[in-house]
Amino acid sequence: MNMTKPETPKQTSGSASETKKAECLSMTGFAQARGERNGWALRVSVKSVNHRFLDLKLRMPEGFDLYELRLRQMVRERIHRGHVEVHLIVEPATAAPVQVNRELVQAYLRAAEELRKETRAAADVDVVALLRLPGVIGGLVAAVPETEKEQERFGQALDDCLREALAKLDDMRRAEGRHLAEELRARVTRISEQTEKVCGLAATLRPAFARRLDARLKELLGGTSIEPARLAQEAALLAERSDVSEELDRLRSHLQQFAKLLDGAGELGKKLDFLLQEMHREANTLLSKTPGVESEALAITGLALEIKAEIEKLREQVQNIE
Instruction: Work out the average pLDDT over 204-222.
Output: 61
Q: What confidence category does residue 252 fall into, taking pLDDT thresholds of 50, 70 and 90?
A: very high
Cα maximum dimension of the chain: 115
Q: What pLDDT is recorded for position 73?
A: 95
pLDDT in tens, 158-191: 999 999 999 999 999 999 999 999 999 999 999 9
- Residue 65 is classified by DSSP as G
Pairing mode, strands 82-92 and 54-59: parallel
Q: What pLDDT is recorded for position 234?
A: 59
Q: What pLDDT is recorded for position 146?
A: 74
- 238: closest CA among 201, 212, 199, 200? 212
Judge: domain 23-94+142-171, CATH 3.30.230.40. Answer: yes
Domain limits, the chain: 23-94+142-171, 99-138, 176-318
pLDDT in tens, 48-106: 999 989 999 999 988 888 999 999 999 999 999 999 999 999 877 665 566 778 888 88
- pTM for this one? 0.67
CA distance 181 to 216: 50
**pLDDT for residue 18 is more than 60:** no
Q: What pLDDT is recorded for position 124?
A: 72
CA distance 50 to 82: 5
Q: What confidence category does residue 142 fall into, taking pLDDT thresholds of 50, 70 and 90?
A: low
> C-alpha distances in angstroms, 128 versus 105, 107, 110, 141, 302?
12, 16, 17, 22, 68
CA distance 26 to 269: 9
Query: Bridge partners of 137?
Result: 100
pLDDT in tens, 94-140: 655 667 788 888 888 888 888 888 887 776 777 778 777 877 776 55
Q: What pLDDT is recorded for position 67?
A: 92
The beta-strand segments (E) located in 38-72 are 40-49, 54-59
Q: What pLDDT is recorded for position 229?
A: 67
- DSSP-derived 3-state class of residue 122: coil
**pLDDT for residue 29 is more than 60:** yes
